[in-house]
Structure 1
Amino acid sequence: MGEIRFGVDDLAQLRFAVSPLWESVAALRASADPGRHALHLPWIKTALTVGRERTALLPHLPELEALVPPPRCPLAEIGEELAALAGPPGRAEAVLAWWGAGVRPHWPRIRAVLEADLAHRTRQLAEDGIREVFAHLHPSLRWSEDRLGGAGLPAGGLVLDGGGITLAPSAFTTRCVLLPGREAVPPCLVYPARAVGTLWERSAEPGDGLARLLGRSRAGLLGRTRTPTTTTGLAHQTGLSAGAVSQHLAVLRDAGLVTSHRYRREVYYRASELGQALLGRAS
């Protein structure tokens, strides 16, 4: 058990982020221990086929987990994070190879789950406050007065210096992990994302009736907004251009079938109650 102590300025500097580098390393851990990551077995079966990339990194897994830097921005690219990775340059090249072979092909799906988690946490922060956010990150965490306590936190205690902390959901992490701050970058608390059990599910496609009513592209987009997602995410998933996705979403929103809200530079779309009801009936 350990704890993190917050000041007033630290609570005001709370941030959220997605780290593709951490996900790559955590995914490597999951592929090396399938018994503890049964939810990811559909992905692990494909990950085991990229043996050369995995084999090069597995002996260095504990070292890599300790070297991953905290994310510098909310939606970092893998190249930016690898540039800050400590250790031999060849290690970064090996991680990039693993990312390209084992993680990147599935990144749109993984990122959609992570972004849906971020949308939920930011909504929770706005509606219920920081105490509720911490209370629901992980069962092991406890907020008391000005301190967050729980397993995976520094045993000697960490006092934040006014720069705040970043919270990052992870699809492959089953416990909370603290990435120490570096230079001007605040520490990052990685926690298990919500709804990971849906990550590898094959969602039922809307029926032909809904496709005839809305058009196949719009029906497909509506089906993918069961959880919050962005125009970019939907473009990756469907192969449509971002412009085409935006036009279809505008029509769905005007019809009251999807709602939208902005988080930082991204706009998230989610099926409205009417849209969810329509999808449920069509399925």
Structure 2
Amino acid sequence: MLRIHFTEVDLARVRVAGEPDPMWEVLSTLHRLQSRGGRWQYAAWHRATRAELHAAGLARPVRRMLFALYPLGPYLPDFLTPAAAEDGLTAGLDDILRLPRRDVLAELRLLDRVRAVPPWALRLVQDAERREFTELIRRYHAVAVAPYTEHMVGGIVAHRGLLGRALLARGVEGLLSSLGPRVRWRRPVLEVEYRTDRDLYLRGRGIRIVPTWFSWGTPVALADAGLPPTLSYPLTRPAVPEAELPEAGVPLRALLGSTRARVLRCVADGLTTGELAQAAGISLSAASRHATVLRDAGLTTSQQIGPMVLHTLTPLGAGLLRQVREAAGLPGRPRGPGVS
């Protein structure tokens, strides 16, 4: 059990990641390749990724190098999931390259206590070897993570929509109570199912919560309590669909009809049925009917929250909107209600 102890100041400093964290997703995908956990849920991803890794000549270096430093077990080197990755893959990899040699060596020695570290890994204290290692991570990310950006973004948008509603209805403690079945809020402690038994005292630093698309099972926190507190946890029942998205050049109105296309765009903000009717300029019954059709098509999802029904995009719906916006030369991506 991991017990995360909050102060009143910490409750005001809770942040939820708004986009996939590339380094946490790299870690989670490597664990998916090493474990049968969630294999059925990620079957399409498994088949495609293994084939692409072989085609790119990456299968052997991934097994030899990445599996060695991203093992399943009670300890993972913190330097492989840097906070800087919040700003993207390049920022995260640059942070790994800048890390002092003594810190890299210290974390590798900690890993060696629970799992033998291969001799080549100790050479990561050298700049050239570390650059080669980060380039392997970049190439792996391009094959195993980047192609699924639409699915990850859609899942996180929908999840943040639900967390945003919980925040508005019950405050930060409501948000902390909505992080999934493996996380329980018992003021002032967040109890997390975990591989080991430990306590983490935030002491006014707050915490960054990272919903992770490819994570499966127990959440993961940084081992070093002195680093910026971070908790990565699995999104509820993620999946990688087999179906392809519609072609980017297909206008949304031609695909769905003008009213339903407008409803889909409105759902990107995460709305109740009443809010959806108002935003789309249609009746309540029409909003409910269009929401049902979009849900049946796999473009949206609906969840009962008290007396309300909240509609959010699925990964397929978010990907469709993204492609349409890009085809039209419009910036940005569909987002749900902000939780910062």
What TM-score does the superposition give when structure 2 sets the normalisation length?
A: 0.61
TM-superposition CA deviations, 1:77-132 (whole Å, max 9, x none): 11111222355322211110001122212212222212221222122122222333
Task: Give the corresponding residue for 1:2.
Answer: 2
| Correspondence 1:1-283 to 2 at 5 A | 1-17=1-17, 18-34=20-36, 36-49=38-51, 50-51=53-54, 52-59=57-64, 60-61=66-67, 63-64=69-70, 65-67=76-78, 68-72=80-84, 76-85=87-96, 87=104, 88=124, 89=130, 90-152=132-194, 155-174=197-216, 175-180=218-223, 186-197=228-239, 199-200=240-241, 202=243, 211=255, 213-214=257-258, 226=300, 227-228=312-313, 236-238=322-324, 239-243=326-330, 262-263=337-338
Task: Give the corresponding residue for 2:272.
Answer: none
Query: Does structure 2 retain, via aligned residues, the 8 Å contact 1:2–1:155?
Result: yes
Bigger Rg over Cα: 2
Q: CA deviation at 1:12?
A: 0.7
Q: CA deviation at 1:20?
A: 1.3
After the TM superposition, which parts of structure 1 deviate over 4 Å for at least 4 consecutive aligned residues?
Answer: 180-183, 203-206, 215-225, 229-236
Give SS of 2:233's match: strand
Q: CA deviation at 1:166?
A: 0.7
Q: CA deviation at 1:219?
A: 9.1
Q: CA deviation at 1:5?
A: 0.8
Residue 62 of structure 2 aligns to which amino acid in structure 1?
L
Task: Give the corresponding residue for 2:108.
Answer: none
Query: Does structure 1 retain, via aligned residues, the 8 Å contact 2:44–2:242?
Result: no
What TM-score does the superposition give when structure 1 sets the normalisation length?
A: 0.71
Q: CA deviation at 1:172?
A: 1.3
Which moves more between the two structures, 171-180 or 135-144? 135-144
Query: Does structure 1 retain, via aligned residues, the 8 Å contact 2:13–2:205?
Result: yes
Query: Does structure 2 retain, via aligned residues, the 8 Å contact 1:28–1:54?
Result: no
RMSD of aligned C-alpha atoms?
3.9
Q: CA deviation at 1:150?
A: 2.8
Query: Does structure 2 retain, via aligned residues, the 8 Å contact 1:117–1:193?
Result: yes
Extract unaligned runs of 5+ from structure 2: 71-75, 105-123, 125-129, 268-293, 301-311
Which moves more between the two structures, 159-168 or 31-40? 31-40
